[in-house]
């Protein structure tokens, strides 16, 4: 009874949010992309360069497997061999063709999942890592919420249409950006062909993602198609030492429309460096004599609309703890495009500090003298 009530509430919420957000965002785009949903996001900063119904809740087909692989990399032992179950071998839809009782490593299953869009690989990963698909879904949903993909819910590891299986283009871009932090994920999705002998796999794999051949510097990510979701495509393209992630859902001309989004971003945005890693952007005086600086934790490079002014403000923390360790995130950097704030970043302490009792007593004595 509780499950059915929860499902009903979720369905009503989906209908309400989807219809409401559709009205808000449908006319906000500077160009029109022939897709139900579309978004372009800078992978390092999360800045959105283009959006069309980005928060519209929708099925997402096999682009689900981006989340499946992210969770597998996080929780799985890559060298562990998984026995293919009857459930995995007999799943419908796109398959690698693994046979029941065949032994496949988790690493190889990841290649089968992302290059061949294997639904059998998805089931095998779920069962091999969590013991069951249901338990793996718990991991996927928990991790999605943890990284901020709060308008998504996963019911399968492969993405076949299911009543409570949905996401948004924004969430899917966010998940992809997180996955791209993993070197193995980057290596897999950018591979065009993998020979069996290279990793001692049971078979060779050819990537079915045509976008790798359509756009220069494209390095992933995943195709998808179901009746409910339509043709989907998540793409990553290297630009200026960063990557732009493009998401299209229900887009019949997904290859061409991705190219149009890419062209739009190249014509209308440029990357600007705000600060190099380690640059001191603010400081705080401690005990009247010691300076603790707050520095950029990484190279700060952001996409800015051409012709727009970019400015930033750096802040020290309003209060300082008694103990500071080098690298503690205490300050803040705000970046503006014109009057619009586009990014908040934490700053890091450039040294360690501990308030000594001697300095504390000295300060007290000075105040008493005054």
Residue numbers belonging to the annotated binding site for substrate: 222
Q: Find the catalytic residue in 43, 69, 94, 117.
A: 117
Q: Find the catalytic residue in 43, 44, 65, 231.
A: 65
Binding residues: 222
Q: How many CB atoms lie within 10 A of CB 72?
A: 29
Active site residue 132: no
Beta bridge partners of 205: 194
In the structure encoding, which two tokens stand for residue 25, read together?
């965002």
Active site residue 236: no
Q: Where are the beta strands (DSSP E) in the chain?
A: 37-42, 48-52, 81-83, 103-105, 193-194, 205-206, 218-226, 230-239, 242-249, 269-275, 280-286, 290-295, 300-305, 310-315, 323-324, 329-337, 340-349, 353-354
Closest by CA to 176, choosing from 147, 214, 206, is 147
Active site residue 62: yes
| Site of tokens 């796109």 | 94
| Rounded alpha-carbon distances, angstroms, from residue 368 to 17, 322, 361, 362, 365 | 61, 22, 10, 10, 5
261: alpha, beta or left? (left if phi > 0; alpha if psi -120 to 50): alpha
Q: How many CB atoms lie within 10 A of CB 310?
A: 17
In the structure encoding, which two tokens stand for residue 86, read together?
């009857």
Closest by CA to 294, choosing from 343, 330, 344, 336, is 330
> What is the rounded CA–CA span in Å between residue 220 and residue 235?
5
Quick one: DSSP state of residue 111? H
| Rounded alpha-carbon distances, angstroms, from residue 131 to 66, 82, 137, 160 | 20, 11, 11, 20
Q: Find the catalytic residue in 43, 62, 94, 316.
A: 62
Which positions are annotated as active-site residues?
A: 62, 65, 117
């Amino acid at each position: 009874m509780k499950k059915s009530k929860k499902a009903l509430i979720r369905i009503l919420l989906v209908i309400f949010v989807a219809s409401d957000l559709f009205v808000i965002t449908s006319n906000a785009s500077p160009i029109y992309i022939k897709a139900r949903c579309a978004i372009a996001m800078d992978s390092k900063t999360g800045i959105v360069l283009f959006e069309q119904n980005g928060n519209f809740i929708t099925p997402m087909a096999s682009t689900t497997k981006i989340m499946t692989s992210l969770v597998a990399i996080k929780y799985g032992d890559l060298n562990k061999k998984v026995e293919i179950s009857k459930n995995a071998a007999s799943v419908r839809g796109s398959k690698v063709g693994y046979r029941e009782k065949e032994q496949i490593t988790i690493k190889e299953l990841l290649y089968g999942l992302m290059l061949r869009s294997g639904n059998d690989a998805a089931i095998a990963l779920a069962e091999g890592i969590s013991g069951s698909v249901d338990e793996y879904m718990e991991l996927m949903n928990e991790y999605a919420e943890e990284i901020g993909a709060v308008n998504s819910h996963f019911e399968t590891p492969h993405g076949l249409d299911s009543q409570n299986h949905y996401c948004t283009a924004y969430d899917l871009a966010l998940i992809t950006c997180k996955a791209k932090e993993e070197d193995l994920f980057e290596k897999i999705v950018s591979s065009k062909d993998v020979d069996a002998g290279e990793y001692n796999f049971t078979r060779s794999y050819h990537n079915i993602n045509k976008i790798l051949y359509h756009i220069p510097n494209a390095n992933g990510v995943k195709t998808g198609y179901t009746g409910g979701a339509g043709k989907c495509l998540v793409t990553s393209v290297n630009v200026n030492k960063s990557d732009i992630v493009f998401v299209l859902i229900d887009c019949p001309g997904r290859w061409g429309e991705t190219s149009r989004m890419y062209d739009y971003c190249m014509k209308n945005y440029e990357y600007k460096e705000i600060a190099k890693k380690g640059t001191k952007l603010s400081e705080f005086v401690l005990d009247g004599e010691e300076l603790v600086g707050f520095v950029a934790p990484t190279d700060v490079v952001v996409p800015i609309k051409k012709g727009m002014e970019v400015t930033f403000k750096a802040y020290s923390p309003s209060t300082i703890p008694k103990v500071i360790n080098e690298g503690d995130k205490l300050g803040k950097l705000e970046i503006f495009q014109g009057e619009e704030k586009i990014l908040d970043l934490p700053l890091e302490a450039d040294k360690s500090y501990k308030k000594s009792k001697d300095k504390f007593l000295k300060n007290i004595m000075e105040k008493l003298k005054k």
